[in-house]
């Protein structure tokens, strides 16, 4: 039996243009996310044809909370949530997740004898960001491996700044940060998230990963 995990932002006229621009970003992001659907469905169907019967499928996380996007597209006050994340980008992620769950439901009806588990990684990550200090993390929208100002210098790269060679280094304690490099999570954050999802509390149907292989036939609803 094989278990497959798919882990798979002054004037009335100016205000109108700003809203339109933001909407274009939302639609573009939504379009990019939805491009994942056909390949994902085809992949699951192909694996099913090869004998795979158990699938563990993660939805997408709160992309509006990625430090990279928050820095690149700083949200206006009305588009920032209580954590400083970009609400409109997270709305895109939530819509994607809603449609993903529908697709998984369709696949359950199409793939006889298969067990498809939908894992709400969005809720796990957003919970960590919302209560970062409670779990020992600092500055939930900060990151450990920083660029040097606006120079674009990344960790482990060197650059000449005002005639001096500068070496990009990480923070002294990565375990205190949720984000490693503004786009990827640190080992400590990933460990926390894994512990939240492995018990099945954020899985539909609610089955712990350790019992997933023994629950075949009970997930077709």
3-6 vs 164-167, strand pairing mode: unpaired
Has residue 148 got a pLDDT over 70?
Answer: no
Whether residue 205 has a cis bond before it, omega within 30° of 0: yes
Residue that wins the pLDDT comparison between 22 and 189: 189
Q: In the predicted model, what is the mean pLDDT of the chain? A: 81
**Tally of domains in the chain:** 1
Residue 166: inside a domain: no
Range of the domain at 45: 3-131+185-212
3-state secondary structure at position 19? helix
Residue 124: inside a domain: yes
Has residue 25 got a pLDDT over 80?
Answer: no
Residue 154: inside a domain: no
What mean pLDDT do residues 10-22 have? 34
Has residue 16 got a pLDDT over 50?
Answer: no
Has residue 166 got a pLDDT over 90?
Answer: no
Confidence of residue 212 (pLDDT cuts 50, 70, 90): confident
């Amino acid at each position: 039996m094989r278990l497959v995990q798919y882990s798979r932002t002054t004037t009335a006229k100016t205000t109108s243009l700003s809203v339109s621009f933001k909407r274009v970003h939302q639609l573009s992001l939504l379009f990019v996310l939805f491009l994942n659907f056909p390949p994902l469905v085809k992949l699951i169907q192909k694996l099913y044809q090869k004998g795979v019967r158990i699938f563990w499928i993660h939805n997408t996380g709160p992309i509006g909370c990625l430090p990279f996007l928050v820095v690149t597209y700083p949200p206006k006050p009305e588009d920032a949530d209580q954590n400083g994340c970009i609400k409109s980008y997270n709305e895109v992620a939530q819509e994607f997740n809603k449609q993903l769950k529908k697709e998984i439901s369709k696949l359950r009806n199409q793939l006889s004898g298969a067990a498809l588990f939908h894992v709400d990684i969005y809720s796990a990550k957003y919970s960590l960001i919302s209560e970062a200090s409670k779990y020992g993390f600092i500055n939930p929208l900060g990151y450990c491996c920083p660029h040097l100002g606006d120079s674009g210098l990344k960790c482990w790269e060197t650059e000449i700044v005002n005639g001096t060679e500068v070496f990009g280094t990480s923070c002294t304690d990565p375990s205190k940060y949720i984000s490693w490099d503004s786009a990827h999570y640190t080992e400590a954050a990933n460990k926390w998230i894994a512990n939240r999802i492995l018990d099945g509390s954020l899985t539909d149907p609610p089955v712990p990963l350790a019992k997933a292989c023994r629950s075949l036939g009970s997930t077709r609803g």
